[in-house]
Amino acid sequence: MHMKIKSMILLVALLGATGAAQAEESVWTWLGTIWRQNEVNPVSNAAWQEECGSCHFAYQPGLLPTQSWEKLLDAKALEDHFGENAELDADTLKEVRDFALENAADKSWYKRARKIAKATENGEASLRITEVRYIKRKHHEIPEKMIKGNKDVKSLSYCDACHTQAKKGVFDEDTVRIPNYPDWED
């Protein structure tokens, strides 16, 4: 009897703990991968860092699914990359494209990347990280004045304006510092 109660409590506790995770993935996925890395796989490719990072934050491939990277990293598409010319020579394009496709959200085992994969598995893949449902929801509670109305942030696209460890692929809430709003969490 005693034993039964104990195991019941344990089961309830376990279910409770998985509750949050269940929102983005099945309990089996969660249980099977408890020990995998958190966050998003950091950039490990020099060409990626150089080619993407010379104009904007070098967004990690794990922030978008394969389908999005395939559309973005295409010779023709790069001629008009959100209004800018970002043409690459064929060799460089192949290298950054391969890197993206190998590390895209749906290929990654990093937890946050998996959540992005889950959020983008149905429907047309967005070309903008800021339009991924999961990313939108995560920033939902931040008032507009702290992002758009903040002269040192301006848009959700500038990850590293607030995510101090963004370069390492870490987007955890504890690492967030919003410029001009030191007490943003209150």
Partner 1 sequence: MKRLTAMLMVLGLFAAVPAAATPASDTLLVKYQSDGAGKPDAAKGKKDWTREEVVDGEKMSCATCHGTDFSKPGKHHKTGKVIEPMSMKVNAERFTDVKKIEKWFKRNCKDAWGRECTVQEKADFLTFLLAQ
Per CB under 8 A, residues contacting partner 1 are 54-57, 79, 82-89, 154, 157-158
Q: Which is nearer to partner 1, 80 or 121 (CB)?
A: 80
> Minimum distance from CB of 94 to partner 1 (Å)?
15
Encoded tokens for 68: 């999005």
Contact 110, 37 (CB under 8 A): yes
> Minimum distance from CB of 158 to partner 1 (Å)?
7
Contact 60, 40 (CB under 8 A): yes
> Minimum distance from CB of 133 to partner 1 (Å)?
24
> Minimum distance from CB of 23 to partner 1 (Å)?
32
> Minimum distance from CB of 85 to partner 1 (Å)?
4
The DSSP symbol for 181 reads -
The DSSP symbol for 22 reads H
The set of long-range contacts for 142-151, using a CB threshold of 8 Å and a minimum separation of 24, is 142/178, 142/184, 146/178, 146/180, 146/181, 146/184, 150/178, 150/179, 150/180, 150/181, 151/180
Q: Which is nearer to partner 1, 54 or 122 (CB)?
A: 54
Q: Which is nearer to partner 1, 86 or 119 (CB)?
A: 86
Q: Which is nearer to partner 1, 33 or 164 (CB)?
A: 164
Of 155, 142, 139, whose CA–CA distance to 181 is shortest? Answer: 142
Q: Which is nearer to partner 1, 18 or 164 (CB)?
A: 164
